Structure 1
């Protein structure tokens, strides 16, 4: 992709001004003062160190395994036998039923067993424990072959827990004032990538999808802007939103060309002067990636939850499918609220609720641990690789969902973006008010369950097409139907 930069005004607006989190406050990390830098949708707090075709309706639950064209439960593993003798209905006449061999399956496919769930360090593994990632990792749902785009501040490609899986580092900024000669200046994008897809080391458990590929697009300015006084970042006119959409369309195309099927967006700080017109203009930057390229967008809800004016809904950018409904973006869109991992029935105080976006929103821990990603000097890439840091924000809830999407897609590569989205939402653990609610959305991410396939058919009929075998292990609730096309055995287990 050519180094096309967004309009300078929009570029300055495209970084969140974190409510209650000073950008340049000095914090202490493991006993030494450090400059915090721009946190986008997150901030850092110091912590301790350590060393390194048959259609079936699912009325309430899909109650039985379905093999080949078996249309009713039971049946002896797909073998239909002769019925017992029937009492003659008249002199000299005994009715018979010929054996129907069309349902005979002499060698039914074997449903493989899954590996044991992984256990995590009690302190540093809480973020994965809460979302049941031990089950998905133990079952081998590692995100292999799936690219996660990180549209952020850049990713350190030689980070030992990411290398050599950072396949691409795109630079989408003006230079100067931004430095094109390094992978990043702000660590935020590296933290996000580690949360989604870092490999484990020592007591640090790694990310949700440690075999996924990272495709980085650096577009957040090295020097964060100042909030315009609104408390929610910077206003964007409709004209600027249209220009931003052109930039985003190019950025998404570039990330997709380098392998990204999921694009994580842990940024904010943009609100529209004219909400409806601005949202529609900006949303155009996502239509090609979602509708034509089968991509999945994951957005952080925003960190202005401590301000009652903004708490009830996600940010304007994360709510685009709601604000611009005619474009049909919801099929490839998820927003994420920040759950408190120490009390996973409530959100962290700074997190904005699912609100207007609750139908495509879920919750994941927003206080996580990352390893070896804090530069000693903001102008170089030297790090303390033996240290673990705690970082907080909806920025870090979002990549847990992005990693979960990669895990699901690696198990079910024939899923489209909508079915990956439905699987993550429909397997979430319900918390708060029963059902989908305005605080937690569909509930708490459960990647272990999602890696076993859909849990609800709540969005209408589902159609899949693939060859070979695939196992869906969850009971499936909902009134939707499903259909499958392919001339191959397919053990469905629900």
Structure 2
């Protein structure tokens, strides 16, 4: 049973959330030799961090390297080299001023300098306390015995139960990298599933907050202060004590690129993809993203293509969330959608029930296209459960990170003044109050269903063949909507049982 004691939280129940809010126009992020743009942002979901201490992409001229110039600038005026990728023709630096970025733009070997873009990530925020006394004979060998499996319409919708019955539980030799807000690796459903040696934080600002709030606990830097990454991770793989995951044996490792304040660094994500590919990730899950005019950051578009091509050559399958703006990705003009407009990705749209009178159903039409999901015949690869929005009963649920924090944004001190820094109020799901479940809806939750099935397929078919895994996922899906490739379902709704040959 559930002790229905709702945590005190700030903000509304997430309905269509978990990725980016809308196609946006960020600052002009291209840094010329003469000037650094400080023009206003035209929309809400992305900002270019061109302020002092910002993070910048340095794109090299073809066949050139600017490593020496970067080293000289950083040693003379300060800053940090976050990544130097000469083979791919770029570097990422942080902690430098816009003036320093302007100097680097004039350096020998530099083609362009572009400021980082922080995309918004809206996290699930409906938390309920769990009663641990009901935890009994749950087993990772039988995920359907998880305490809250009756609520998990999402696992039944993709026939994960058939995959489990056929023995497809994943393998510890298969790794899925979670690029997100971190992972609560101490939560019972995730304890032992996360490789902490390979996990890494690429957000020094989050590392400082972790130390401030939980320094005495000596936690790994991958610790999740937001909650988003923990629930995403549990969908890919779980010990199935409380919540069943698509697999139970898959190894996870976390790469923190997002913050407690619901922002994700595009350049940290770039570095994170390369880190994951170079550290043995068979699958990367990215339940994050955004959109910007191609003309605003042409170097970034080019570099992302190079990075994703590199990961594909390394044998890594990349699964991404489609986004939640009900936008047609085939008709977005000059807007570039990260990451569904990028090469070699499996882009996942969202399905969810239209109604459920109780938390355990019955669930009406769980394969319905959600009203928030992005779509597009050329963009969407597959559909998977993301959660409905008609009631709490049709959301997707998972573990609430024991270190997730609640925060609020104070208003500007005077009309037209800049917003002050956000303020952290305290824990969302405090460890001393027991365990909590977190619920929400969005394509953020769709993607990890696909990543989990992909991990099960790698365990069956062997590593290093992302194109074969992608084809198997698509060819085994349920063809819903219009026959053939559909703008909303892509090749079809994910079918775990058929993918692993447990169903005809």
Class of the TM-score when normalised by the shorter of the 2 chains: 0.5 to 0.7
Answer whether contact 2:226 2:401 (CA < 8 A) is retained.
no
> Using the alignment, how far apart are the partners of 1:357 and 1:297 within structure 2?
14
| Alignment gaps of 5+ in structure 2 | 1-80, 84-91, 99-113, 136-140, 212-220, 354-362, 388-394, 407-425
Q: How many Å separate the matches in 1 of 2:229 and 2:258?
A: 9
The correspondence of residues 237-386 of structure 1 with structure 2, limited to 5 A, is 244=267, 248-274=269-295, 277=298, 278-291=300-313, 293-305=314-326, 316-321=337-342, 329-330=343-344, 333-341=345-353, 342=363, 343-358=365-380, 360-366=381-387, 367-373=395-401, 375=403, 377=405, 382-383=430-431, 385-386=434-435
Say whether the 8 Å CA contact 1:301–1:337 is kept in structure 2. Answer: yes
Distance in 1 separating the partners of 2:261 and 2:93: 15
Task: Report the Cα distance in structure 2 between the residues aligned to 1:177 and 1:215, rounded to whole angstroms.
Answer: 17
Q: Distance in 1 between matches of 2:468 and 2:310?
A: 18
Whole-Å separation in 1 of the counterparts to 2:480 and 2:330: 18
- CA-CA distance at 1:44 after TM superposition: 3.5
- Check 1:48–1:158 CA distance in 2 against 1; reply closer, same or farther (3 A cut): closer
Superposition deviation, residue 412 in structure 1: 1.6
Of Structure 1 and Structure 2, the greater strand share is in 2
Matches within 5 A, 1:24-103: 38-39=122-123, 43-46=124-127, 49-51=130-132, 52=135
Question: How many angstroms does 1:411 deviate by?
Answer: 1.6
Give distance in 2, aligned partners of 1:119 and 1:179: 37
Which residue pairs with 1:30 in the alignment?
Answer: none
Question: Counterpart in 2 of 1:421?
Answer: 470
Number of residue-to-residue matches in the alignment: 338
The Cα of 1:209 is off from its aligned counterpart by 1.3
Question: Is the CA contact (8 Å cut-off) linking 1:143 and 1:406 kept in structure 2?
Answer: yes
Can you give the 5+ residue segments of structure 1 that lack an aligned partner in the other structure? 18-37, 53-114, 226-232, 235-240, 322-328, 453-472, 476-494
**1:132 alignment counterpart:** 159
2:254 counterpart residue number: 216
Deviations 1:310-358 (CA, angstroms, capped at 9, x unpaired): 797797012234xxxxxxx33xx20111101442342222111144313
After superposition, the C-alpha distances for 1:413-450 in whole angstroms (9 at most, x for unaligned) are 15611111100010000111111111110111001110
Matched, 1:15 2:119: yes
Distance (Å, rounded) in 1 between the aligned partners of 2:206 and 2:436:
32
Q: What SS class does the counterpart of residue 436 from structure 1 fall into?
A: coil
Q: Deviations for 1:374-400, whole angstroms, at most 9, x for unmatched residues?
A: 547556784355433322111011001
TM-score by length of 2: 0.59
For residue 196 of structure 1, the aligned residue among 236, 240, 251 is 236
| Aligned residue in 1 for 2:490 | 441
Instruction: Give 2:439's aligned residue.
Output: 390
Instruction: Report the alpha carbon displacement of residue 289 of structure 1 after superposing the two structures with TM.
Output: 1.0
Aligned partner of 2:452 among 400, 403, 406: 403
Q: Distance in 1 between matches of 2:336 and 2:168?
A: 31
Larger Rg: 1 or 2? 1
Q: 1:433 to 1:47 in 2, by over 3 A?
A: farther
Query: Is the partner of 1:363 in helix, strand or coil?
Result: strand
What TM-score, normalized by structure 1, do the two folds share?
0.60
Deviation (angstroms), 1:408: 1.1
CA distance in 2, matches of 1:267, 1:427: 26
Residue aligning to 1:156: 184
